Structure 1
Amino acid sequence: MTALIWLIAGVALAAGEALTGDFVLLMLGGAALATAGVAAVTDLPVWFDALVFAIASLVLLLGVRPPLRRRYAQPPALTTGIDALPGKHALVLESVDAHSGQVKIDGDVWTARPLDETESYEAGTTVTVMEIDGATAVVWRGP
């Protein structure tokens, strides 16, 4: 009878892991399933089952959970689209000044203006994209 209770607890804890994703409930569910297996094979008192559960929980939480967390850790967010453009180098195609200009960034042609509106960049100059303002790349030649 106690094996059935441990089995139900193990399945419920493992199912609860879907809500947290932190591997704690999964480890406790695994310990409960291990205890259910021991309780099914032996006819020892309940305190022994509790001891098996405690030991299995510690082993899983301290030995298995850390490598699992490292393995399934979320990678840093990858910037895409226009958020990835600042910091990239661009080639000036058409003279860039406060009122007009074009640059090529990663194969795409963008309208551009200088970061400092008193500056202008001639065609062939390499500049750095500082920001994207609407559909215009704000560029700077740098020091």
Structure 2
Amino acid sequence: MDIEAWIWWLVAAAGLGIPLVLTAMPEFGMMAVGAMAAAIGAGFGLGLVAQVLIFVAVSVALIAVVRPIAARHRNQRPQLATGVEALKGRQALVLERVDARGGRIKLAGEIWSARALDEDQVFEPGRRVDVVEIDGATAIVM
């Protein structure tokens, strides 16, 4: 029983899909797509050398193009700041005098302990301040 080449390429594509699922390495998926392209070439009657060239060309092209794009997206910071990061840069209302030693502010609807960024700065109650950092449970303001 002689199995046609395009079936072998589909088996190879499925075989490359298994480590893709198990390891989450996208390169296996790109090679599986290359095997699918080679199966299409085999279906059109191309020879073994042409099938292998299609497999290699499609796989390498996908890895060369898609991998750098995926790396850029993986290294980007999230657009939505959450938690303490979301409080940086917000304005707060001084409730109790804030200086380098401490004080109280109202930030995002909650009362926070705060201290001034600059040791010489003093903020009186009622004044608006900008949060530049969060140090534990203390907002650093200016």
TM-score of the pair, normalised by structure 1: 0.68
- Counterparts of 1:18-97 in structure 2, within 5 Å, are 18=21, 19-22=23-26, 24-40=27-43, 42=45, 45-57=47-59, 66=66, 69=69, 73-74=73-74, 76-77=77-78, 78-97=80-99
Q: Quick one: which amino acid aligns to residue 114 of structure 1?
A: A
Percentage of identical aligned residues: 37
Where structure 1 has 5 or more consecutive residues not aligned to the other structure, the ranges are none
8 Å CA contact retained: 1:92, 1:104 = yes
Distance 1:134 1:41, change over 3 A: closer
Distance 1:109 1:41, change over 3 A: same
8 Å CA contact retained: 1:6, 1:35 = yes
8 Å CA contact retained: 1:86, 1:131 = yes
Distance 1:102 1:53, change over 3 A: same
SS in structure 2 of the partner of residue 112 of structure 1: strand
Q: Partner residue of 2:8?
A: 5
Q: What is the Cα deviation at residue 129 of structure 1?
A: 1.6
Find the aligned partners of 2:127 and 2:47 in 1 and give their Cα distance.
82
Find the aligned partners of 1:73 and 1:53 in 2 and give their Cα distance.
27
TM-score of the pair, normalised by structure 2: 0.69
Where structure 2 has 5 or more consecutive residues not aligned to the other structure, the ranges are none
SS in structure 2 of the partner of residue 73 of structure 1: helix
Distance 1:35 1:120, change over 3 A: same
Q: What is the Cα deviation at residue 61 of structure 1?
A: 5.5
Distance 1:91 1:8, change over 3 A: same
RMSD, matched Cα: 3.3
Range with greater deviation from structure 2 (74-83 or 128-137): 74-83
Q: Quick one: which amino acid aligns to residue 125 of structure 1?
A: R
Aligned length: 135
Distance 1:59 1:128, change over 3 A: closer
Among 131, 135, 138, the residue aligned to 1:136? 138
